[in-house]
A and B are shown apart, each in its own frame.
Chain A
Amino acid sequence: MKKSLKKSAVMLSIGTAAILTACVTINIYFPAAAAEKAADKIIDEVWQLKQGQQAPESTPADKTSEPKPAETTPAEAKPTDTPAK
């Protein structure tokens, strides 16, 4: 009696697992949120947008504001190329 109970419990658990697996495989719905996320990522790359931003009107001016080590050597060498007489 005890043995048959155990056997039926095993069968039940196998059955349940099979049903659950079937549910998972068949009933997988379209992941709308994940798709939106993927779409945003791809569109940002294709249109070269920053995250969560509309297409910029113009590309931001590249800031080359780093002060160049301007060689402010006083022009001691005067322009010597005088116009030919």
Chain B
Amino acid sequence: MKKLLLSLFVIVSILTANWVAAAADLEVNTPAIAALKASMQARHGQLSPFYSAGAIGLTKDGMIAVKDATAVPLSQRGSLSGLVSAENADRANLYKEIATANGHAEWQGDIQNTFAGRWIDKAQSGWFYQSGGGWAKK
């Protein structure tokens, strides 16, 4: 009986240890995530002046949107919407990839919400972000 109890205890502790280890970190080192990061990093060089000019802003759902296209010279306006949709496609894929890489596709929405807050927190001052019904300046 004593032995049984002991083995039961061992099983419980192993399960708990696994669970704790799983909760400690999210898997983000997959080729798909690395490719998305690289693509977004390369695009950021082009997006950065648009953030500063107030032409685009960070949305509250972890995406970006055109806020004021007139803040951009006419010649660049064409590329603006293309850049924004490419960035949003990468972001959506990133959230999805992180969720699936961790075996929980249903976490995608939670991951997206987490990112939404962190993008805004880390934004440079002067950049715009969605707050309530409108835009706010950092």
Interface residues of A (CB under 8 A from B): 5-6, 9-10, 13, 16-17, 20-21, 24, 28, 30-32, 34-49, 54-57
Tell me which residues across on chain A come within 8 A of B70, comparing CB atoms: none
Q: Are B26 and A34 in contact (CB under 8 A)?
A: yes
Are A28 and B25 in touch, CB under 8 angstroms? Answer: no
- Range class of the B interface residue count: 35 or more
- Residues of B1-30 at the interface with A, using a CB-CB cut-off of 8 Å, are 1, 4, 7-8, 11-12, 15, 18-19, 22-26, 28
Cβ–Cβ < 8 Å partners of A55 in chain B: 122-124, 127
Residue from A24, A28, A31 in contact with B26 in the complex, judged by beta carbons closer than 8 Å: A31
Q: Give 16 pairs: A residue, B residue, CB < 8 Å, sorted on A.
A: A6-B1, A9-B4, A10-B4, A20-B11, A24-B15, A28-B22, A31-B23, A34-B25, A34-B26, A35-B111, A38-B28, A38-B98, A39-B118, A44-B122, A47-B41, A54-B123
Chain B residues with Cβ below 8 Å from A47 are 41, 44, 122
Chain B residues with CB under 8 Å of chain A are: 1, 4, 7-8, 11-12, 15, 18-19, 22-26, 28, 33, 37, 40-41, 44, 94, 98, 104, 107, 110-111, 114-115, 118-119, 122-125, 127
CB nearest neighbor in B for A48: B41
Taking a contact as CB atoms under 8 Å apart, the answer to whether B114 and A17 are in contact is no
Q: Provide the main secondary structure of the chain B interface.
A: helix
Contact A45 B8 (CB under 8 A): no
Contact status of A16 and B8, CB under 8 A, knowing A34-B24, A42-B94, A49-B122: yes
Minimum CB–CB distance for A35 against chain B, Å = 4
Partner of B37, one of A45, A49, A54, A57: A45
User: How far does the Cβ of B31 sit from chain A's closest Cβ, in whole Å?
Assistant: 15
Are A13 and B25 neighbours in the complex by a CB distance under 8 Å? Answer: no
